[in-house]
Structure 1
Amino acid sequence: MAADANRKTLLIESQYFPNLFFYKTLINHDELLIEKYEHYQKLSFRNRCYIAGPNGSILLSVPLSRGKNQRTVMKDVKISNEENWQAQHWKTLVSAYRRSPWFEYYEEELGQLYERPFEYLMDWNEACFEWANKTIGLSFPTTYTTEYSKQYTDANLTDARDLMVPGTENAKTDLVEYTQVFQDRVGFLPNLSILDLIFCEGKRTLALLK
């Protein structure tokens, strides 16, 4: 029991294919607690991620129906499926990474994920997170909050909610550098979605994160 009491927990919001800083932070903990009862926050990684493109980073954003109302509890935020956003995201991923070393290796399975219908943003994020973790060989105990608490007193819990904000992600300087698809054109783009590292480095991904 004493060992369990010393387990380090990371508390963070649900994110769409999280970036490398998310994963770097995660692997320094023993378990993950995802916030489920917060109010949705606009312009966050909850429904967006960034990948590499020929002219710089590309934003992939999941359209939301009720999520634009910041009073909506995160667990209730619904995806707007009026437009075929999954097909658009997948087309963008194929265009950006078809020449990467590992894209072909993961293409079929990931493509199937983008064909599965989802109603709620958290369910989509969970499916993406599980796919990425399985792909890189990361097995991580994950639970969800059962109510909202503004502050936690547990000394072994790191509250990282809203600490990773789009527009500030490139300030992280302690992340791994690797060869990216369009690096010769736009230079190295740090801290993109985990997808970028997976497609560029494949089975080395987890080792590089450590």
Structure 2
Amino acid sequence: MSIILHPTYFANIAHFTAIANTNEVVFEAHDNFLKQTYRNRSYIYGANGKLALNIPVIYTQKNRQKYKDVKIFNEEKWQSAHWKSLLSAYKTSPFFEYYEDDIKPLFEKKAEYIFDFNMNCFEIICECLQFEVNTSFSEAYHKDIENVSDLRQLVHAKKEPDYTFESYTQVFDEKHGFIPNLSILDLLFNEGPNALNYLENQTLSL
């Protein structure tokens, strides 16, 4: 069955587990933007534990905005800061250098819209995973959807279930233990070509 998801910033393991185990992904393209979601947030494993990377956006709660119309606030040097955080977190991981040249350009070229930037991230990750999936975009917003598995709730960063994903070796796990459901980047840099096999063998419990 097809699934429907929100494009998110370097989507987490839950998102990619769902994506790796379906035939088609429909991306929600007509929802309103909400703060405190994975639309502009991603979590990585830093030296001090779980670290949030937030993309600043030009958005006000007073005027409802479509997600696809929200612009990135590029006055803040967020790309440079995020790349430095990734370097600090993963430069000693087994596969960082292997994928560095694919990922780094996303932090060098300015992006105008958060939706478009997230789609670029998704496409690059699929290339790194050597994974092909059929994708499409919703044509209108519908609260209830038939014939598609609705996983749009995965976008909420504050309302997560306790996922029981299989552990894998992480750079700082001797300090803080295994941290589940981080950004796909954590899995990619630590597991490399085995990342897709890992995703295909996980079960998404909601």
Specify if TM > 0.5. yes
Cα deviation for residue 16 of structure 1 reads 0.6
Which residue in the other structure is 1:172 paired with? 163
Q: How much does 1:27 deviate?
A: 2.1
Q: Which of 65, 73, 81 in structure 2 is aligned with 1:88?
A: 81
Residue in 2 that maps onto 1:111: 104
2:171 maps to a residue whose letter is V
Q: 1:141 to 1:69 in 2, by over 3 A?
A: farther
Following TM superposition, the consecutive aligned residue runs of length 4 or more in structure 1 with deviations greater than 3 angstroms are 67-70, 167-170
Taking only aligned residues, the RMSD between alpha carbons, in angstroms, comes to 1.5
Asked if the contact 2:42/2:52 (under 8 Å) is kept, the reply is: yes
Matches within 5 A, 1:125-164: 125-154=118-147, 157-164=148-155
Q: Deviations over 1:58-114 (max 9, x none)?
A: 000110012655710111011000111111100100011011000011112211221
3-state SS, counterpart of residue 51 of structure 1: strand
Name the structure 2 match of 1:204.
194
Contact 1:40 1:69 in 2 (8 A): no
TM-fit CA distance, 1:54: 1.3
| Other-structure match for 1:13 | 6
The yes-or-no answer on 1:37 pairing with 2:27 is no
> Does the Cα contact within 8 Å between 1:65 and 1:77 map onto a contact in 2?
yes
Deviates more, 1:37-46 or 1:61-70: 61-70
Deviations 1:173-205 (A, max 9, x none): 1x2211000000011101100000000010110
Counterpart of 2:125, as a letter, is: A
Say yes or no: does 1:48 pair with 2:41: yes
Does the Cα contact within 8 Å between 1:45 and 1:165 map onto a contact in 2? Answer: yes
- Residue-by-residue CA offset, 1:115-135 (whole Å, 9 max, x unaligned): 111100011000100111110
Which secondary structure state, in structure 1, belongs to the residue aligned with residue 71 of structure 2? coil
Query: Which consecutive unaligned segments of at least 5 residues does structure 2 have?
Result: 201-206
Q: Where does residue 5 of structure 1 map in the other structure?
A: none
Letter of the aligned partner of 2:156 in structure 1? Answer: V
Distance in 2 between the 1:67 and 1:160 partners? 26
Distance 2:63 2:2 in 1: 27
User: What is the percent sequence identity of the aligned residues?
Assistant: 40
Choose which of 176, 179, 182 in structure 2 pairs with 1:189: 179
Hey, what's the Cα distance between the residues in 1 that align with 2:119 and 2:84? 21
Q: What letter is aligned with 1:196? A: D
